[in-house]
């Protein structure tokens, strides 16, 4: 399939470093997309208190303008024949054959991401005006959000793996800063650190992948690597693929590096919506979709991507069923939905479907997170769903928005999730054989579980009796918050339909990720599969409704539960495992080494020094009359030099 991607690259494939057409016209200002939010962040960070009053509005404005410019660029790209343009900015790292340019690649894939990031980003910025209105440090909040948007845009616009890496760690930094925004809470600080470290583990994979690319192909630019992907041996392609996957797992919260994502909910809710649901955590999917030409040479790595996705989607679903914290449920839901994307992006020709799900998920998950934020705002920051109930009537707009997101995620037609999730299940089954049946069935089971835990969330939050704390007086949020929620709700309803109308997204993305997989004979006919999916979804909904909608919900979590529920509540013991396998031994190792370094190596050297110096008494005397002794030593040394040199001179 890499041959099919060749037209995207300009002629001259005989050269090792392929290249894209140069950006011109209105596209030559693409750097502004990144520069605008970066400037916003810089002004807010350096401007100090002077910017307190207007700073948040500036933060919104930079992203809003970037969105408008993103739209203009999108239509410019659509209007021209070259569907991939490169903007060379400057020479970044030139050391002989290792030559990295700072440049941007604007193609259908990156243009799609630009719209998602700036569009959803802008809405969430506006929402934050209301959500963070009473926080004395909101100027910094907007600075960090702007920084995030800039880094995320660099991630999707960079034209080399190294430029991507800068954005990749940049979003990690912004994520750290925002999770730890309320740094005085130890839990927030710990969660932020955990997120950064888990990401760094993934980054090791990404950096080594880049090193392998340079060692084997002598380049790290997308153009160079992809046009030479044909030279890769299967082993090299598999190695690169798996290393990239490690990076993707870290960033996207996939098994086994998924445990940081639920903890990241310590950050303010707009952060959870933007970074930990709609955009940053999907960067792993972007990375793998972007690297399609490499994955085309390694079936093994593709399979592993799908398996990781399948495992993660199950883990996320199972844990999500037992959580009582509304944000944790949504977080595990994100983990699991990104699992779907990984499952899809691993399937040959299904990358566009993964991106489709990424986009629809961006809408409905952001919508649900912002609605959850609206609820927390109304309930004195309460997150325990056992203390909710009956909110349907007091917060009608929030309820309506959340419902739109809910119907989208469980995949009810014609809501957006139906179009994307259904396609993933179909693509999985169409793989055929054991692989297809296993992946497809996992995806199907996941759909049922998703319906279950989301219905549970709806029932516990919006229906049933009011189990509120005594001082809770819930009220609907102001327009500055509900406005963005409603727009995202509209997106949750229509995005799937619009994006698949006439295969729109599929065709649009073809120059970037290759053509879709044409299947002659489906494993299961799509109509049957759709009906089957709807059936299991209905099963999940009914089961949850019977359990949580029809019966009263206890205000505290029941103690007498099955071991499965207990395991799910404890997040399947992954944290305990990390603690006992990595953290504790690490601490012991560190302590032992500190001891050894003081007693062992340093002690040995000290003893040696004392021995040479004629016992420790000599050492002590050195410390007392140190000036004289030192001068003497120096003088003696110098005399020795001269004498020795003269001796040599005379001797020869």
Residue whose CB is less far from other proteins, 123 or 180: 180
Q: Using CB atoms within 10 A of its CB, is residue 447 exposed (0-12), middle (13-18) or buried (19+)?
A: buried
633's enclosing H/E stretch is helix 626-651
Q: In Å, how far from its chain's centre is CA 382? A: 26
Shortest Cβ distance from residue 208 to other proteins (Å)?
A: 6
The residue from 4, 11, 197, 546 that contacts other proteins (CB under 8 A) is: 197
- The least CB distance from residue 22 to other proteins, in Å, is 20
Quick one: DSSP state of residue 518?
P
Binder among 3, 32, 93, 561 for other proteins (CB under 8 A) = 93
Residues 135-154 that bind other proteins (CB under 8 A): none
For residue 370, the Cα-to-chain-centroid distance in whole angstroms is 18
Residues 218-237 that bind other proteins (CB under 8 A): 218-219, 228, 231-233, 236
421, 454 contact by CB (below 8 A): no
Q: How far is the CB of 626 from other proteins (least distance, A)?
A: 6
- Only segment of 106-114, 211-219, 354-362, 552-560 that touches other proteins (CB under 8 A): 211-219
Is the Cβ–Cβ distance between 247 and 206 less than 8 Å?
yes
* 49 belongs to the binding site for other proteins (CB under 8 A): no
> Phi and psi of 10, rounded to 5°?
-65, 165
Using the rule CB under 8 A, is 633 a contact of other proteins?
A: yes
**197 versus 469: smaller Cβ distance to other proteins:** 197
- Choose the binding region for other proteins from 11-19, 294-302, 349-357, 515-523 (rule: CB under 8 A): 11-19
The string of DSSP codes covering 84-138 is -EEEEEEEEEEETTEEEEEEEEE-HHHHHHHHHHHHHHHHHHHHHHHHTTT-TTH
Stretch 591-620 residues interacting with other proteins (CB under 8 A): 591, 593-594, 597, 601-602, 605-606, 609, 613, 619
Q: Are 492 and 404 in contact (CB under 8 A)?
A: yes
Q: Taking CB under 8 A as the rule, does residue 567 contact other proteins?
A: no
Identified binder of other proteins from the candidate list 211, 469, 531, 581, rule CB under 8 A: 211
Of 31, 127, 214, 508, the residue at the interface with other proteins (CB under 8 A) is: 214
Q: Which of residues 417-476 bind other proteins (CB under 8 A)?
A: none
Question: 114, 153 in Cβ contact below 8 A?
Answer: yes
Query: Does 90 engage in binding with other proteins (CB under 8 A)?
Result: yes
> Does position 43 bind other proteins by CB under 8 A?
no
Q: Return the number of the residue (50 or 185) whose C-beta is nearest other proteins.
A: 185
Interaction between residue 17 and other proteins (CB under 8 A): yes
Find where tokens 């000290």 sit. 606
Q: Which member of 49, 53, 79, 97 binds other proteins (CB under 8 A)? A: 97
Q: Could you tell me what percentage of the chain is helix, strand and coil, using 3-state DSSP and rounding each to the nearest 5? A: 75, 5, 20
Q: Which of 166, 480, 538, 567 binds other proteins (CB under 8 A)?
A: 166
Among 26, 91, 393, 525, binds other proteins (CB under 8 A): 91
Burial class (CB in 10 A: 0-12, 13-18, 19+), 584: exposed
The token duo for 452 is 């279950």
Start-to-end Cα distance in the chain: 74
Rg of the Cα atoms in the chain: 29
Min dist. Cβ of residue 636 to other proteins (A): 11
Which 474-513 positions form the footprint of other proteins (CB under 8 A)? none
Q: Which residue's CB is nearer to other proteins, number 194 or number 387?
A: 194
- Beta carbon nearer to other proteins, 189 or 543: 189
Q: Does 32 bind other proteins (CB under 8 A)?
A: no
Among 32, 498, 561, 646, binds other proteins (CB under 8 A): 646
How many residues bind to other proteins according to rule CB under 8 A? 80
What's the CA angle centered on 64, arms 61 and 68, to 5 degrees?
135
Task: Please name the residue that has the structure tokens 């992809």.
Answer: 226
Task: For residue 325, give the 3-state DSSP assignment.
Answer: strand
Which of 35, 39, 173, 490 binds other proteins (CB under 8 A)? It is 173
Q: How many CB atoms lie within 10 A of CB 467?
A: 18
Q: Which stretch binds other proteins (CB under 8 A): 381-389, 408-416, 526-534, 641-649?
A: 641-649
In angstroms, give the least distance from the CB of 216 to other proteins: 4
**Residues 76, 190, 300, 565: which binds other proteins (CB under 8 A)?**
190
For the beta carbon of residue 480, count every other beta carbon within 10 angstroms.
14
By beta-carbon proximity to other proteins, the closer residue of 158 and 511 is 158
Distance, CA of 569 to CA of 178 (rounded, Å): 26
What are residue 384's phi and psi, to 5 degrees? -80, 115
Name the minimum Å distance from CB 348 to other proteins: 23
């Amino acid at each position: 399939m890499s041959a099919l991607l060749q037209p995207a690259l300009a002629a001259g494939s005989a050269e090792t470093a392929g290249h894209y057409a140069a950006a011109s016209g209105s596209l030559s200002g693409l750097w502004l997309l990144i520069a605008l939010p970066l400037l916003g962040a810089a002004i807010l960070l350096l401007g100090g208190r002077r910017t307190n009053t207007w700073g948040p509005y500036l933060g919104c404005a930079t992203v809003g303008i970037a969105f408008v410019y993103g739209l203009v660029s999108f239509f410019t790209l659509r209007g021209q024949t070259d569907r991939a343009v490169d903007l060379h900015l400057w020479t970044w790292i030139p050391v002989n054959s290792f030559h990295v340019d700072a440049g941007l690649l604007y193609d259908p894939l990156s243009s799609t991401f630009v719209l998602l990031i700036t569009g959803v980003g802008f809405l969430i910025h506006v929402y934050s005006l209301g959500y963070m209105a009473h926080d004395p440090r909101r100027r910094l909040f907007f600075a960090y959000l702007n920084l995030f948007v800039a880094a995320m845009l660099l991630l999707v616009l960079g034209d080399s793996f190294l430029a991507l890496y800068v954005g990749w760690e940049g979003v990690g930094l912004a994520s750290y800063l925002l999770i730890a925004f309320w740094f005085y809470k130890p839990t927030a600080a710990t969660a932020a650190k955990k997120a950064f470290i888990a990401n760094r583990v993934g980054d090791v994979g990404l950096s080594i992948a880049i090193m392998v690319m340079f060692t084997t192909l002598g380049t790290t630019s997308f153009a160079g690597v992809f046009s030479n992907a044909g030279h890769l041996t299967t082993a090299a392609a598999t190695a690169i693929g798996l290393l990239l996957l490690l990076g993707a797992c870290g960033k996207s919260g996939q098994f086994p590096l998924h445990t940081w994502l639920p903890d990241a909910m310590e950050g303010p809710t707009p952060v959870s919506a933007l970074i930990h649901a709609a955009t940053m955590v999907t960067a792993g999917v972007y990375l793998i979709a972007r690297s399609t030409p490499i994955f085309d040479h390694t079936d093994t790595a593709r399979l592993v991507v799908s398996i990781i996705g399948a495992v993660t989607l199950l883990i996320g679903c199972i844990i999500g069923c037992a959580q009582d914290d509304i944000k944790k449920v949504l977080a595990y839901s994100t983990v699991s939905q990104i699992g779907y994307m990984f499952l899809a992006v691993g399937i040959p020709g299904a990358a566009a479907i993964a991106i489709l799900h990424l986009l629809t998920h961006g809408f409905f998950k952001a919508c649900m997170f912002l609605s959850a934020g609206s609820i927390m705002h109304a309930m004195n920051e309460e997150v325990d769903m056992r203390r909710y109930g009956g909110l349907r009537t007091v917060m009608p707009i929030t309820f309506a928005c959340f419902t739109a997101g809910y119907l989208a995620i469980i995949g009810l037609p014609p809501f957006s999730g139906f179009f994307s999730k259904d396609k993933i299940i179909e693509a999985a089954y169409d793989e055929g054989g054991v692989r297809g049946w296993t992946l497809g069935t996992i995806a199907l089971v996941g759909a049922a579980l998703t319906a279950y835990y989301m219905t549970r969330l709806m029932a516990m939050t919006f229906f049933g009796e009011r189990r509120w704390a005594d001082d809770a007086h819930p009220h609907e949020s102001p327009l500055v918050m509900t406005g963005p929620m409603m727009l995202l709700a509209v997106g949750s309803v229509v995005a799937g339909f619009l994006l698949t109308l006439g295969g729109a997204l599929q065709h649009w993305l073809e120059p970037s990720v290759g053509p879709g997989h044409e299947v002659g004979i489906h494993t299961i006919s799509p109509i049957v599969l759709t009906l089957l999916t709807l059936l299991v979804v209905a099963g999940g909904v009914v089961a949850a409704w019977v359990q949580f909608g029809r019966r009263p919900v206890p205000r505290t979590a029941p103690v007498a539960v099955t071991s499965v529920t207990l395991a799910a509540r404890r997040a399947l013991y992954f944290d305990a495992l990390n603690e006992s396998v990595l953290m504790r031994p690490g601490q012991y190792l560190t302590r032992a080494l500190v001891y050894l370094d003081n007693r062992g190596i340093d002690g040995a050297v000290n003893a040696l020094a004392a021995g040479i110096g004629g016992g420790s008494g000599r050492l002590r005397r050195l410390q007392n009359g140190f000036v004289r002794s030192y001068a003497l030593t120096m003088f003696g040394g110098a005399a020795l030099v001269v004498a020795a040199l003269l001796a040599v001179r005379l001797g020869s």
